[in-house]
Structure 1
Amino acid sequence: MDTLNPRTDIERLLLEMRQGDLDPETFARRLIDLEVFMPVKDDKHQIAGFQTSTKAEPLVLDDDEGNRVLITFSSPERAKAFVAEVPGFGGGLLTQMSWIVRRMGENMGLAINPGEELGFDFDPDMVAMLASLLPEEDQ
Structure 2
Amino acid sequence: MRQPFEPLNDLERALVAALQSQIPVATFVQTLLSATVYVLTDRDSQAGGVWDHGATPMVLADAKKTPFLALFTAPERADAWSKRQTTFGFGRSTDLARLLKGMAPEQGIVINPGLPAGFEMQPATVAQLRAQVG
TM (norm. structure 1) is 0.83
CA contact (8 A) 2:70 2:111 kept: yes
Structure 1, unaligned runs of 5 or more: 44-48
For 2:37, what is the secondary structure of its paired residue? strand
* Correspondence for 2:99: 100
Structure 1 residue runs of 4+, over 4 Å off?
49-53
| Aligned pairs (5 A) from 1:30-109 | 30-42=31-43, 54-55=52-53, 56-109=55-108
* Correspondence for 2:17: 16
Structure 2, unaligned runs of 5 or more: none
Deviations 1:56-109 (A, max 9, x none): 211112211110110111111110112211122110110111111111110111
For 1:116, what is the secondary structure of its paired residue? coil
- Matched residue count: 132
CA contact (8 A) 2:73 2:111 kept: yes
Over 3 Å counting, the alpha-carbon distance change for 1:51 and 1:8 in structure 2 is closer
Bigger share in helix: 2
For 2:86, what is the secondary structure of its paired residue? coil
The percentage of aligned residue pairs carrying the same residue is 30
**RMSD over aligned Cα atoms:** 2.5
Over 3 Å counting, the alpha-carbon distance change for 1:62 and 1:83 in structure 2 is same
Distance 1:112 1:120 in 2: 5
Over 3 Å counting, the alpha-carbon distance change for 1:86 and 1:51 in structure 2 is farther
For 1:4, what is the secondary structure of its paired residue? coil
For 2:70, what is the secondary structure of its paired residue? strand
Query: Who wins on radius of gyration, i.e. which is larger?
Result: 1
Give, as a single letter, the amino acid of the residue that structure 1 aligns with 2:31. R
* Correspondence for 1:116: 115
